[in-house]
Amino acid sequence: MTLAQECRQLRRALSVLEETSANEKTRLIYEARLKAARDKMAEIDYAQDKGFNKGIRKGKKEGMAMGMEKVFALIDRGISPTEAKKMLGVT
């Protein structure tokens, strides 16, 4: 093999090596971006679930307070607490 042929083969080998390295870097960049996007989506999902659950708890608390106000209003009108709860469906 001549020196010129060896040089061509070396240049080709270096070219393949550079291309492979570039592809590896591109893949790593892609994977890092994909992971960041997935992490962000998980963060958003978590925040939405947390907010939804907080809203449910607040709604239940406010609903119970409103229900109890109605129970007390009926009690003030002379209805027994047990009967007032039955009338309003409060357990």
Mean pLDDT of 22-31: 80
Domain count, the chain: 1
| Cβ atoms < 10 Å from Cβ of 34 | 10
**Residue 91: which pLDDT band, with cuts at 50, 70 and 90?**
low
Q: What is the percentage of the chain residues whose pLDDT exceeds 90? A: 15
User: Could you list the residue range(s) of the whole structural domain that residue 23 is in?
Assistant: 3-88
| CA–CA gap between residue 43 and residue 52 (Å, rounded) | 14
- pLDDT at residue number 31: 85
Q: What is the pLDDT of residues 29-65, one digit of tens each?
A: 888 888 898 899 999 999 999 999 999 899 888 887 8
Strands (E), 4-91: none
Largest CA distance in the chain: 113
